[in-house]
Chains A and B, each alone.
Chain A
Amino acid sequence: MENLYDVLVIGGGMIGSAVARELSRYDLRIGVLEKNLDVCYETSGRNSAVVHGGFAYDTGSLKARLCVEGNRMMGDLAKELDFPFLRCGKVLVGNTKEDMETLKRTMEQGEANGAVGLELIDEERLHELVPAVVGKFAMFSSRSGILDPFQYTIALAENACENGVEYFFDSEVTGIGRDEEGNYHLATTQGEFACRWVVNAAGLGCKTISDMLGIEGYRVIGSKGDYIILDKRTGPLLPMPVYPVPSNTYMGIHVTNTIDGNVTIGPNADMVSDFRYYGVPQENMDYLAESASQLWPHIHKADYIRNYSGILPKWVDEQGVIQDFKIEIRDELAPRAVNLVGIESPGLTAAVPIARYAIEQMKEREELRENPAFNPCRKGIVRFESLSTEEQEKLIRENPDYGEVICRCEKVTRAELLQAIHNPLGVSTLVGIKYRTRSMMGRCQGGYCQMRLEQMIEEELGKKETEILYARQGSQVFFGKVREEA
């Protein structure tokens, strides 16, 4: 069959893209089918962006093991793929005797999991680390960190793409069939695709795809968390994420510094069945601010710049108890199908280990030949704002487009926007360019730059104004011109 892929990955989020990237180490024809118009519109781009230490999960679980592994390798991965990552540490802050007991247990569990850099600290040490926090003691995890979840996902996808993986956007899988040779035929909103291997990395759609593969019976619920983003001037008050003492199932509302110097507060955890609704209710915003203020009393409405929400797909049993990651090949039901179910937190930390674990299972069934041309390195867009004056000067001399600041809040230049608009994946939405550059992400939320950005997309890609999309399919920004051409 001419158009047969060796592997089709369903879902281009951080898990799907990590799988695609790790698979591109082998001599395979790989495609990624993504229903959205970019790789981080759902859970991959809607989370706390924290790289976890691995202490919060049951010893022996995949969550624990792959998280510890992901944490260990994140520094090298960030260098290879050129995405922003900061090992800033994090604290779990407690006040009561029970809190102390929980933290001790958490620490023991962490150590059993192989997590390193965990330490119980007193109030004095806590305030040295995070002066603005309220609490009597804490568990400090020095190996925890934060990253840019958009750049991370994009970096994985771009590196996969540069190593030959084909990305198909706006391609939602609507049905899966198998022919007599055992090849899979995937019906999508963009036509049919055929492959020998299929990988279900559909995130919130994992149950739907699993069912389509004939692996039925998983129960997946959505845990929706809302967040508020604060202005960058709050950043200096928070050098690392501050969490409350966790309960069994829930990490609690935390305050997190972002890699760009903002602060996010959240998430709550509402059980939902609608996986497309990302609205943030008023009462949740009020609740977030109130809860987080008990940990970090610097939350003022004047500093709100945006709110957002994300949904985690949680695999639960009949009693509703949250289960481990499921990464399986069910030869009896769906041979040559890698099924990933319930990949939630710590999926961000564990994405590459998850991918490798999945590929190990493939390799038990089929020999994979190395791809000699594989290049593990990918270069991101050089951020003008992050450079010293001397470096900025040099960069403008080399490329004058770096001298033209388009987004005033985040100081994003024309050069960065041009690189983003011509991104390897071919994403052209306003939000896609925003994720790649931070243009429109600052305190004015695109009040100054969005017109310029929109015009650049039209000019560079030869699009009509009515073709410009904000984020999703159907999100046209314009109805036409005020005055049409004569």
Chain B
Amino acid sequence: MLREFTCIICPNGCEIQAQLENGVLTSMTGHTCPKGEAYVRQELTDPRRNIATSVRVQGGELPLASVRLTNPIPKDRIFDAMAEIRGISLKAPVEAGTVVIAQILGYESDVIVTKSVALRG
């Protein structure tokens, strides 16, 4: 059977057609780089996504610090990860790059701060 994918790895958004036989990938067309091929292989076996959200900051010049994952995690665990992140509260000052949850849900992915938040002046 034929399955179609829109690659999300880069803004090109290649439309990739994958030919499957009994769930096994036999051929692929439409990708313009090796990342596209890797994406489709991953999607077929274990689709993964990154998420970006915010954590509470106390005493900061901003009420929130934005965070993201360092690596994608399985798509069906996104809301579990959100629940973990929602429980986090940091104290200002907060530096970008700070790991706020290491290996979230046991995956090789940390939750890191993406925006520094200074103390409220």
Are A and B in direct contact (Cβ within 8 Å)?
Answer: yes
| Residues of A bordering B, CB below 8 Å | 481-486
15 contacts between A and B (CB under 8 A): A481-B63, A482-B54, A482-B64, A483-B54, A483-B55, A483-B56, A483-B63, A483-B64, A483-B86, A483-B89, A484-B56, A485-B56, A486-B56, A486-B58, A486-B89
In the assembled complex, the Cα of A484 lies from the Cα of B89 at a distance in Å of: 10
Nearest 4 pairs between A and B by C-beta? A483-B56, A486-B89, A486-B56, A482-B54
Expressed in whole angstroms, the Cα–Cα distance for A481 and B55 within the complex equals 12
Which residue of A is nearest B90, CB measured? A486
A229 to B20, CA, bound (A): 57
Q: Specify which chain B residues have a CB less than 8 angstroms from the CB of A485 in the assembled complex.
A: 56
> What total count of A-B pairs have CB within 8 Å?
15
Chain A residues contacting B55 (CB-CB under 8 Å) are 483
- A482, B65: Cα distance in complex, Å: 12
Known pairs A484-B56, A486-B58, A486-B89. 12 more at Cβ < 8 A? A481-B63, A482-B54, A482-B64, A483-B54, A483-B55, A483-B56, A483-B63, A483-B64, A483-B86, A483-B89, A485-B56, A486-B56
Interface residues of B in 29-84 (CB under 8 A from A): 54-56, 58, 63-64
Mask, B70-110, CB within 8 Å of A = 1, is 00000000000000001001000000000000000000000
A485 to B64, CA, bound (A): 11
Residue of A nearest to B85 (CB): A483
CA gap between A486 and B92 in the complex, in Å = 14
Instruction: Find the A residue at minimum CB distance from B53.
Output: A482
- For residue A484, which residue of chain B has the nearest CB? B56
In the bound complex, how far is the Cα of B55 from the Cα of A484, in angstroms? Answer: 10
- Chain B residues within 8 Å of A482, by CB: 54, 64
What chain B residues lie within 8 Å of A481 (beta carbons)?
A: 63
| Closest chain B CB from A55 CB (angstroms) | 58
Which residues from A are CB-within-8-Å of B54?
A: 482-483
Scoring A482, A483, A484, A485 by chain B CB atoms within 10 A of each residue's CB, the highest score goes to A483
- Give, as a whole number of angstroms, the nearest-CB distance from A455 to chain B: 10
By a CB distance below 8 angstroms, the chain A residues around B56 are 483-486
Distance of A483 Cα from B117 Cα, bound (Å): 16
Shortest beta-carbon distance from A9 to chain B in Å: 43
CA distance A482 to B54 in the complex (A): 8
A237 to chain B, nearest CB (A): 42
CA distance A231 to B89 in the complex (A): 45
Q: Which residue of B lies closest to A485 (CB)?
A: B56
Considering only CB atoms, which chain A residue lies closest to B91 in the complex?
Answer: A486
CA separation between A484 and B64, bound complex, in Å?
10
For the complex, give the distance between the alpha carbons of A317 and B54 in Å: 63
A484 surroundings in chain B (CB, below 8 A): 56
Least distance between A5 CB and chain B CB atoms (Å): 45
CA distance A482 to B63 in the complex (A): 10
A75 to B119, CA, bound (A): 52
